[in-house]
Structure 1
Amino acid sequence: MKRGTTLFLKVAVILLGLPILALCIFFVPGMADYAAEIFTDFPLIEALVLIYVYGTAIPFYCALYQAYQLLTFIDKNKAFSDLSVKALRIIKRCAVLISILYVIFLPFIYIIAEADDAPGLILIGMFIVFASTVIAVFAAVLQRLLQEAINIKSENDLTV
């Protein structure tokens, strides 16, 4: 396969990471300050919000890196390998972790939305959970299909 066939997808993976990076740099500190203003009786809330949101960014970037690696494997004609299955497994686990963390975080988002009278925050949190769950299920299906294809290929190699 030509090296440039997955170039568009690699660029898309990189471009997916840029808005989240911008949010982490510019929006999250302000959100943590706002949470500290709302919850004045809880002094560690600002640090908790920063740790929690940045903690969810780590599996996101890990999954993006694995998607980039998967595209590299496709470029090198190693799409049907255990490395690809491993990359899909890591993507699935990262997506599940993001979903779990945001499900835990949703009550806190609800409290902030009630204080600010902004129901859109709850929808954003629910969208993140939904999107992560869809990605996890899709990666799980692809992982299983790829593993079955590898097993069939190895059986055919043994019979020939």
Structure 2
Amino acid sequence: MKKGTTTFLKIAVFIIGLLVIVFCSFWLPGLASEAAAMNPEYAYLKLPVLIGLYLTAIPFFLALNRAWRLLNDIESGNAFSERSVIFLRHIKNCAGSIIFLYVAGILLLAINNALHPGIAVAGVIILFATLVIAVFAAVLQKLLKSALDIKEENDLTV
């Protein structure tokens, strides 16, 4: 793969991470305070919802780190290695963690009759995007593992 392609992907990963940090640090707390002021009957959910959103940021940043390291391996010519399979498995597991946390959060809000339709739509969009990433990482992991198995078999044959 050309260095320009991986550089573009690395820049994209960096910008996505930076945007999420800015979103979590500055915009999200203000949005939560504004929502609590507009709906005082649900103000008690402000802190649990914020904690839940911040908890989903942890596997997100772990997955971004693994994607960065995978891009480094691709750049250095080590894309077809067991380490790449492990990175893809970590990305898939992080996506699964995010899905679990969002489903739990949506269920918690629904049980408390505090699930606003806008929040539900945003949550479903995030769930769908995360599910696509999890499935894509799983497919890539299986393909890479199959390629490694074939390579190992060919190495043993020759």
Sort the TM-score into its range (normalised by shorter chain): 0.7 to 0.9
SS for the counterpart of 1:111 is coil
**Residues 1-160 of structure 1 aligned to structure 2 (within 5 Å):** 3-34=3-34, 36-37=36-37, 38=39, 43=44, 45-107=45-107, 108=109, 111-113=114-116, 119-160=117-158
Q: Contact 1:28–1:53 at 8 Å: present in 2 too?
A: no
Runs (4+) off by over 4 Å: 1-5, 34-37, 39-43
Please, which runs of 5 or more residues in structure 1 have no aligned partner? 114-118
SS for the counterpart of 2:114 is helix
- TM superposition shift of 1:85: 0.3
Q: Equivalents in 2 of 1:68, 1:35: separation in Å?
A: 35
- Alignment-mate amino acid for residue 131 of structure 1: A
Q: Equivalents in 2 of 1:58, 1:130: separation in Å?
A: 19
Over the residues paired in the alignment, what is the CA RMSD in angstroms? 2.2
Q: Contact 1:88–1:139 at 8 Å: present in 2 too?
A: yes
Aligned length: 154
- TM superposition shift of 1:20: 1.2
Q: 1:82-135: CA deviations, max 9, x gaps? A: 11000000000011111111111124277252xxxxx33221110000000110
Q: Contact 2:49–2:105 at 8 Å: present in 1 too?
A: no
Q: Contact 2:91–2:134 at 8 Å: present in 1 too?
A: yes
Q: Contact 1:5–1:75 at 8 Å: present in 2 too?
A: no
Q: Equivalents in 2 of 1:51, 1:121: separation in Å?
A: 16
Q: Equivalents in 1 of 2:40, 2:145: separation in Å?
A: 49
- Normalised to the residue count of structure 2, the TM-score between the two structures is 0.86
- TM superposition shift of 1:46: 3.2
Q: Equivalents in 1 of 2:129, 2:72: separation in Å?
A: 24
Q: Contact 1:95–1:135 at 8 Å: present in 2 too?
A: yes
Q: 1:10-33: CA deviations, max 9, x gaps? A: 101111112211110122212433
Q: 1:5-63: CA deviations, max 9, x gaps? A: 411111011111122111101222124334544365875x3332222111000111111
In the superposition, relative to structure 1, how do residues 128 and 2 fare at CA in structure 2: closer, same or farther (>3 Å)? closer
In the superposition, relative to structure 1, how do residues 34 and 68 fare at CA in structure 2: closer, same or farther (>3 Å)? same
Please, which runs of 5 or more residues in structure 2 have no aligned partner? none
